[in-house]
Structure 1
Amino acid sequence: MTFLFFTILLFCAVPIALVLALTALWYIATSGNNVLFDSYPQQLFGAIENYGLLAIPLFMLTGELMNEGGLTTRLINMARIFVGGFRGGLAYINLVANMMMAAIMGSAASQIAIMSRAMVPAMEKEGYSGAYAAAITAAGGLLSPIIPPSMLFVLFGVLAQVPIAEMFIAGIVPGLIMAGLFFIVIVLVGLVQEYPPGEWPDRQKMKEYVLMGVPAGLIPLVIIGGILTGLATPTESAALASLAALLIGKYIYKDLKFSHMPEILRRTALNSGMVIMLISAAGVFGWVVVYEQIPQAAAAWISSQTSDPFVFMLMVVGVLILVGMVIDGIAALILVVPILLPIAQQQFDISAYQFGVVVCLTLVMGLLTPPVGAGLFIGSSMTGIPPMQIFRALLPFLLATLVTLVLLSGVPELVLVLL
């Protein structure tokens, strides 16, 4: 009966945070155990009493400050120095710039929105198909959940009770592998499509791009360097990155005005508030899931299907691709981790880091797959290109992502090598 109530709310387009909170209330009301009502507020607020969650609004603020302060444009120009002269140079510039942004923003949806505005018009102007330009930009957003920092990694670290800094480190090699496969896809597509010729910037432009790009490039160094050296926690690194983005945008590039700050803070508060509310509601829902011993029941069923860790991981990938198609990645992560992580660790001896990287990347694929495909609609709204056109051009990149997931599922050392 509780599952039916949950399903009805979900398909009535009730916000997922309310679905989770109301389902927990329904369960308590129908169970007859009214004592649980006393624990409900404690579970609701206890889910967000975690220092690591402060990193989420801080990374969101960093992204907003970078966009308003002109740092994004300077990073794109700096990418021209490395790959701009190759045939199809803008396609490579798009991907390199997305890698740089992934090391700063931590949010795939925000990255797709920002980079679509910056890159797609420029690529169309030079003769690229609008759908293909939007597809590369959207595919670049897939790097955001695994190249550190990552909001999904922050949330997974909180849910799985593993160090967030180590989750970030675990994502470095998988992120580079996937970026490498994306480069191969661009090369192969270029054999079929006639890319426009690239153009290397002249010496003067190159000097200008470096001088203007280095300050923006300090942001990922502040974030990743602070975490890798142990000088700062992920939350402290996010705070330092926000401060650096503010100072660079205001005093070096002079694109950021203090008059912009109220709107920047308003957007950050609204976006992070929605995420924190979702985490809070999911905390009380997860409490109900554990109370009902659903993880134990799921473990018994899965153990009867396979004893091979690789097969189990492939089953998880298959299920989560379907889940990610209809449920937001953050909500899905909160729903599945309490159920599947204990099974992965206890029944199959799978590292939490390997499981976390695979799950986060799989769920973010849902941003770019119908029927919901929020990333497709974000890219479409930014560019005016129909979502299904973007999706068709995106298929080779999704295939490369699946290859990455199979590699990470079968070879845990790819995730654990730097830990």
Structure 2
Amino acid sequence: MTPVLFLVLLLLSVPVALVLALTAIGYIWASGNTVLYDSFAQKMFAGIENYGLLAIPLFMLAGELMNEGGMTRRLINAARVFVGGFRGGLAYINLLANMFMAAIIGSATAQIAVMAQAMVPQMEQEGYDRGFAAATTAAGGLLAPIIPPSMMFVIFGVLAQIPIGDMFLAGILPGLILAFAVVCVIATIGFVQGFPKGEWFTASEAASALLYCLPATLIPIAIVGGILLGIATPTESAAVASLIAFLVGWLVYRELKPSALFGVFRRTAVNASMIIFMIAAANVFGWVIIYEALPQKLAAYITSVTSDPFVFLLIINVMLLFVGMLIDGIAALILLTPILLPIAIAHYGISPFHFGVVVCLNLALGLLTPPVGVGLYIAAAMSKTNPGQVLKSLWPFLVAVAAVLLLLSRFPVLSTALI
């Protein structure tokens, strides 16, 4: 009964958090172990009683304050200083600005929405196809779940009970490799299609752009530097970054008004609460997983197929690619980590950090693949084009990301070298 209830609710497009909670309630009722109802609320609360989860709303708050304070435009201008003069310069600016944003926002969907509004009109004005401009922005958004700070890394770290700071370190090299792969795709397409040549800033323009961007760079420095130097936890770094974003936007750039804070806090609270509630519901759904012994059953099946860790990861990658096409990445992460991680560690000796990087990048791909593809639809909506046109230009980027995913699966050291 329980699997049927789960699938029916999922197919009816019931929010995933409610699917998890209602499935757990149905399982308790079907099993007759109704005493579990008494501790249902306690179990949900226990799922979010984790200090590390506070980093999620704080990173979201930092991103909201940064957007409201006019820092996005200045980061784009700074990116133009370094790559703006190359052929196809705006495409590289898009990617480099996405890297800057990834070190601040940590959310792929938020990043795609912000960058699509900022970059697609500029690229179209200079002769780029609108679908390609939106596809480049969407592909750059995949850096957010990998380059620290990453909301998916925070959630995975909490679920796996591993240090979130170390999880951030594990994403640095994979994030740089992914960025290089996207650069190669842009360069190849630019060579074939003959992208327009960019223009370099003059020395005075470059100095001005970098000077105006300098205060905004304090945010990623505070986040990544605080963690790398061991000065602050990820949660504390997120709080410091939020404070810096507010002060810079208010006192330096003078674009963030204190009167706008209520709207910023409200958007942050609404977006963060959806994720937190999902985690709480996943904790009670853990009852179903425990009582049905799903990890043990799945482990017995997979280990009968292969004993090779790389082949195991290939099987998991194929499964997650399919799941990511149907379920939101964060929801899939919350749902599947408690099932798959014990198998990876106990039966294949895979590092949880390596496994986390592979799983998060894989599920991030689902943001850009139909039929769900939230990131794909956001990029299309913000660039005022249809998803099919974006997807037509997006497939070379998806192939490149899939190749990086295979590379990371085959060589664990790429994820664990900095830990």
Instruction: Assess same fold via TM > 0.5.
Output: yes
Q: Which residue of 1 aligns with 2:300?
A: 300
Q: Which residue of 1 aligns with 2:136?
A: 136
SS in 2 for 1:119: helix
Per-residue deviation, 1:287: 2.7
Q: Distance in 2 between matches of 1:388 and 1:50?
A: 41
SS in 1 for 2:183: helix
Q: Distance in 1 between matches of 2:392 and 2:372?
A: 15
SS in 1 for 2:168: helix
Q: Distance in 1 between matches of 2:272 and 2:260?
A: 18
Amino acid paired to 1:169:
L
Q: Which residue of 2 aligns with 1:400?
A: 400
Q: Distance in 2 between matches of 1:410 and 1:5?
A: 37
Q: What is the alpha-carbon root mean square deviation over aligned residues?
A: 0.7
Superposition map of 1:172-251 within 5 A: 172-251=172-251
Amino acid paired to 1:58:
L
SS in 1 for 2:34: coil
Per-residue deviation, 1:348: 0.4
Q: Which residue of 1 aligns with 2:316?
A: 316
SS in 2 for 1:85: coil
Q: Distance in 2 between matches of 1:71 and 1:107?
A: 17
Q: Which residue of 1 aligns with 2:57?
A: 57
Q: Which residue of 1 aligns with 2:86?
A: 86
SS in 1 for 2:372: coil
1:287 aligned onto 2:295: no
Q: Distance in 2 between matches of 1:113 and 1:319?
A: 28
Q: Distance in 2 between matches of 1:36 and 1:65?
A: 42
Superposition map of 1:96-111 within 5 A: 96-111=96-111
Q: Which residue of 1 aligns with 2:167?
A: 167
Contact 1:59 1:106 (8 Å CA) reproduced: yes
Q: Distance in 1 between matches of 2:23 and 2:139?
A: 35
Per-residue deviation, 1:247: 0.4
After TM superposition, the score normalised by the length of structure 2 is 0.99
Q: Which residue of 1 aligns with 2:150?
A: 150
Per-residue deviation, 1:291: 2.2
Amino acid paired to 1:395:
W
Contact 1:219 1:241 (8 Å CA) reproduced: yes
Q: Which residue of 1 aligns with 2:409?
A: 409
Count how many residue pairs are aligned between Structure 1 and Structure 2: 419
Per-residue deviation, 1:235: 0.1
Q: Distance in 2 between matches of 1:185 and 1:70?
A: 30
TM-superposition CA deviations, 1:295-329 (whole Å, max 9, x none): 10010000011110000001111100100111011
SS in 1 for 2:48: coil
Amino acid paired to 2:179:
A
Q: Distance in 1 between matches of 2:287 and 2:214?
A: 47
TM-superposition CA deviations, 1:227-263 (whole Å, max 9, x none): 0000000000000000000000011111111111111
Q: Distance in 2 between matches of 1:41 and 1:285?
A: 12
Contact 1:154 1:164 (8 Å CA) reproduced: yes
Q: Distance in 1 between matches of 2:146 and 2:203?
A: 35
Amino acid paired to 1:50:
N
Per-residue deviation, 1:288: 2.0
Q: Distance in 2 between matches of 1:148 and 1:286?
A: 28
Q: Which residue of 2 aligns with 1:45?
A: 45
Q: Distance in 2 between matches of 1:19 and 1:205?
A: 54
Q: Which residue of 2 aligns with 1:31?
A: 31
Q: Distance in 1 between matches of 2:286 and 2:214?
A: 44
Contact 1:43 1:287 (8 Å CA) reproduced: no
Per-residue deviation, 1:351: 0.3
Q: Distance in 2 between matches of 1:265 and 1:65?
A: 9
Q: Distance in 2 between matches of 1:138 and 1:222?
A: 26
Amino acid paired to 1:163:
P
Q: Which residue of 1 aligns with 2:19?
A: 19
Contact 1:115 1:137 (8 Å CA) reproduced: yes
Per-residue deviation, 1:96: 0.3
Q: Distance in 2 between matches of 1:59 and 1:50?
A: 16
Per-residue deviation, 1:34: 1.3
Q: Distance in 1 between matches of 2:268 and 2:296?
A: 39
Q: Which residue of 2 aligns with 1:379?
A: 379
SS in 1 for 2:256: coil
After TM superposition, the score normalised by the length of structure 1 is 0.99
Moved over 4 A (4+): none
Per-residue deviation, 1:39: 2.5
SS in 1 for 2:14: coil
Per-residue deviation, 1:285: 0.5
Q: Distance in 2 between matches of 1:208 and 1:191?
A: 31
SS in 1 for 2:166: helix
TM-superposition CA deviations, 1:363-394 (whole Å, max 9, x none): 01111000111111111111111011111111
TM-superposition CA deviations, 1:149-185 (whole Å, max 9, x none): 0000000000000000000000000000010111111
SS in 2 for 1:35: helix
TM-superposition CA deviations, 1:56-84 (whole Å, max 9, x none): 00000011001010001100000011000
| Percent of aligned pairs with the same amino acid | 61
Superposition map of 1:61-76 within 5 A: 61-76=61-76
Q: Distance in 2 between matches of 1:338 and 1:187?
A: 40
Q: Distance in 2 between matches of 1:342 and 1:237?
A: 30
Q: Which residue of 2 aligns with 1:118?
A: 118
Deviates more, 1:51-60 or 1:384-393: 384-393
Amino acid paired to 2:44:
L
